Structure 1
Amino acid sequence: MNLTLRRELPIIGIVLIPFIYLTFLWNKLPEKIPTHWNYEGEIDHWGDKYTLIGMVFLLPVLTYLLMLIIPKIDPKKRMDIMGGKYYQLKFALVLFMSFLAMFIVYSSQSQTIAKPNFIFALIGILIVVMGNYFKVIQPNYFLGIRTPWTLENKEVWKSTHTFASKLWFIGGLLIMVGAFILPNEINLVVFLFIIGLIVIVPMVYSYVKFKGIETLV
């Protein structure tokens, strides 16, 4: 067994866990299952239980395949520079998606989401993790804050991602806290507001930083 395959085995195992879990619950699932809940945790859409197979595939499997392919098709070949950090990021993303897939399967089987805000807490954790890795992501066309200005200038890329790292970390923590202390309807508004901030503010920052460098030149 080569070293590359040996390193990938733990992640492959994580990818397979939701399939094992779905197989274990399959005979307990009703033919019609809830496939969507509103912000109050009420079921507002139903579907065939076979849709869960596609869901389990799309979340961990597709995420893993994309993370495998990105370094190979990246024209700048910068992912290799990240070394172990890229592997850790891949591990964290696949773990998150696998956990989310199992939560969806469990909720479909029980036909209820006891705490709808739990999903927001999960997303908050993912944002914190992503923010933690922003500082080590090298300029590329697939991951990070990809604006015309970050892709044009390495200094702008680095500065923007250092700034975004702190913003995403704080934003993720606020989303996690809000998920446990805010009512569902208020938490949804706060969640969308924070997501808007952590997406738009770094983009604006990259433009301002780029123009500042242009002025100095």
Structure 2
Amino acid sequence: MNNRPIPTLLWFITALPFVYLTYRYPGLPEIVPIHYGPDGAADAWAHKAWLWLIPVALPLLSLLLLTRFIPWIDRSDNVEKMGSKYDRLSFGLTAITSVVATYVVYEAGEEQLGHLNFLLVLLGLLIAFSGNYLQVMRPNKYVGIRTPWTLKSDKIWAKTHRLGGKIWFAGGIAMMISGLLLPGRFTAIVLVMALVVLMGIPTWYSWRLSQDEDHDSQYFV
């Protein structure tokens, strides 16, 4: 179990979108968009008080899940054994989600989302950063590529995460480049394609490894 204090800098980063929303809140209209369609146009509205859920659901929840809840419920201590690698992963993911939350607050009140390219770059950064650490992720039930086949075999877990980490890193870089080069209207298309590749290939690969493993075990029986 991780009983170490959460670094002050990480609390500061987590607090940034709360501070920014506090600053912006008085000048926002009472009713603000809370959901946007694939084209970036608002399609759902609610009272501006709902905006407080954004920094709660993104950086604060990420911080508490990664630094407290997951290490606490990981009875095998595999997450804790990652040591400084897991600490850097927690720090990076919390920092990126804090930037995303700040961006969402910045766009609050707008009928049309601007800077969709910037959002794609941020998401690409998040995925590339995660992919860099997937390759060294120890087997556990809470963080990583959790398929029925990776959870039943440490060998399949390791191979899937080595490949998945490379795919996520490359996919994240590709998303960042797309965000810098393509018009904002392509954001939704790029996101869908990225999700299919990033989730589909590692899932298929873990299943394929399981089939090969079952075949080998039957052969030697």
Q: Same fold (TM over 0.5)?
A: yes
**Hey, what's the Cα distance between the residues in 2 that align with 1:24 and 1:114?**
20
SS for the counterpart of 2:151 is helix
Alignment of 1:146-165 (within 5 A): 146-165=146-165
Identity between Structure 1 and Structure 2 (%)? 33
**Hey, what's the Cα distance between the residues in 2 that align with 1:54 and 1:96?**
17
SS for the counterpart of 1:39 is coil
Indicate yes or no: 2:65 matched with 1:66: yes
Alignment of 1:167-186 (within 5 A): 167-186=167-186
Equivalent in the alignment of 1:55:
54
Q: Is the 8 A contact 1:127 1:172 kept in 2?
A: yes
Equivalent in the alignment of 1:120:
120
Q: Is the 8 A contact 1:18 1:101 kept in 2?
A: yes
**Hey, what's the Cα distance between the residues in 2 that align with 1:12 and 1:117?**
28
**Hey, what's the Cα distance between the residues in 2 that align with 1:118 and 1:38?**
17
Equivalent in the alignment of 1:102:
102
SS for the counterpart of 1:142 is coil
**CA apart distance, 1:88:** 0.7
Equivalent in the alignment of 2:26:
27
After TM superposition, the score normalised by the length of structure 1 is 0.91
**Hey, what's the Cα distance between the residues in 2 that align with 1:180 and 1:13?**
29
Instruction: Count how many residue pairs are aligned between Structure 1 and Structure 2.
Output: 214
Counterpart code for 1:47 = A
Q: Is the 8 A contact 1:28 1:109 kept in 2?
A: no
**Hey, what's the Cα distance between the residues in 1 that align with 2:22 and 2:186?**
37
Question: What is the CA deviation profile of residues 53-108 of structure 1, one whole-angstrom value per residue up to 9, with x for unaligned ones?
Answer: 12221111111111121011013221111001111111111111111111111111
Counterpart code for 1:4 = R
5+ residue gaps, structure 1, are none
Alignment of 1:39-54 (within 5 A): 39-54=38-53
Counterpart code for 2:157 = W
Alignment of 1:119-138 (within 5 A): 119-138=119-138
Question: What is the CA deviation profile of residues 120-165 of structure 1, one whole-angstrom value per residue up to 9, with x for unaligned ones?
Answer: 2211111100100001111011111111211111111111100011
Counterpart code for 1:80 = E
5+ residue gaps, structure 2, are none
Query: Cα RMSD between the aligned structures?
Result: 1.8
Q: Is the 8 A contact 2:135 2:166 kept in 1?
A: no
